[in-house]
Amino acid sequence: MAQRIFLERGYSQTTMQSIAEEAGASKETLYRHFGSKEGLFTEIVRAKSAQIATRLDEEITLHASPDEVLTHVGTSLLKTLSCDDVLSFYGWIVAETPRAPELGRIFYELGPAMVRAKLKTYLERATEQKVLCCDNPILATKIFLGSILADIHLRALTLGVKDIGEAEIREQVDAAVAMFLARYRYPVKA
């Protein structure tokens, strides 16, 4: 419910009092649980980020081939991020960040930065095991995530496109994985 209020009113126009009234709770209770409006917002972002992070923890494993891992990661990200509530939340963060830069920082640290760190760690391990050849895992992570997410973010923010079909997700992920592996697959000696 607090997320809905933030989305409807914006961060700066939302007060702990307004959230308490809608929740049928006291403002003191909210402050006791969250400490501040920023603390409440942080918990909302943390919960949203947990959706993605939990899936990535399950999918990023060295027991699967890079094709499988990257396909699962890309598909999971696109499916999660193409959900109406997630894209609305993302759009709201983008709109509010110029007025409240701490919101963008919190969102980035609890969401995108965590995803990047998990994928970077996988790429480092796969390189150590000579499955992939990522001499710069940070750059490789940026390239992969950019090829997966850039189009959906742009369309969502400029055109309001929120629903991406299974066929489009599959096509985009397959192409991104193929392009990534063409560059970073460990060379096999003939």
Write down all domains in the chain, each with its CATH number in brackets: 46-184 (1.10.357.10)
122, 141, 164 from 171: Cα distances, Å: 23, 20, 11
**CA–CA dist 187, 42 (Å, integer):** 43
pLDDT exceeds cutoff 90 at 44: no
Average pLDDT over residues 28-51: 85
Mean pLDDT of 115-129: 92
Under the banding of pLDDT at 50, 70 and 90, the label for residue 63 is confident
Contact between 144 and 119 (Cβ < 8 Å): yes
How is residue 1 written in tokens?
């419910």
Q: What is the pLDDT at residue 84?
A: 67
Tokens of 72: 């699962």
Q: What is the pLDDT of residue 62?
A: 63
Residue that wins the pLDDT comparison between 158 and 160:
158
| pLDDT number for residue 121 | 92
Q: How far apart are CA 42 and CA 144, in angstroms?
A: 27
Q: How many C-beta atoms surround the C-beta of residue 27 within 10 A?
A: 15
> CA 177 to CA 41: how far, in whole Å?
34
Backbone angles phi, psi at 132, to 5 degrees: -125, 165
Work out the average pLDDT over 138-167: 86
Which range, of 52-56, 92-96, 159-163, averages the lowest pLDDT?
52-56
Place of tokens 């419910």: 1
Q: Mean of the per-residue pLDDT values for the chain?
A: 85
- Torsional class of 187: left (φ above 0), alpha (ψ -120 to 50), beta (otherwise): beta
Pairwise CA distance, residues 5 & 2, whole Å = 5
Average pLDDT over residues 67-90: 83
Q: pLDDT confidence of 54, banded at 50, 70, 90? A: low
